[in-house]
Amino acid sequence: MEHIELIAGPMDGAIMETRRLSERHLAEGIAFKHPRCGIPGGHSVYTPDPERPGVWLWRGDTA
């Protein structure tokens, strides 16, 4: 899989390239620094949807 689609949250609909992500990030997800994050200077957390390959779901924002 070379791309993932981010669903919900501040990055809803974004398509991200996965070639540079580690195996750990591909399995567990990642917290993206994003200007529309609900916490100023924070990160938006997305994790893989176990039922839909190539789709990651927003899990919330973190500092």
pLDDT in tens, 11-55: 999 999 999 999 999 999 999 998 888 899 999 999 999 999 999
Strands (E), 10-62: 15-17, 30-33, 43-48, 55-62
Phi-psi region of 44 (alpha: psi -120 to 50; beta: other; left: phi over 0): beta
Residue 1 has pLDDT above 80, yes or no: no
pLDDT class of 6 with cuts at 50, 70, 90: very high
Q: What is the pLDDT of residue 61?
A: 96
The pTM (predicted TM-score) of the whole model is 0.91
Q: Where are the domains of the chain?
A: 3-62
Q: What is the pLDDT of residue 36?
A: 86
Residue of 42, 12, 48 lying closest to 30 (CA atoms): 48
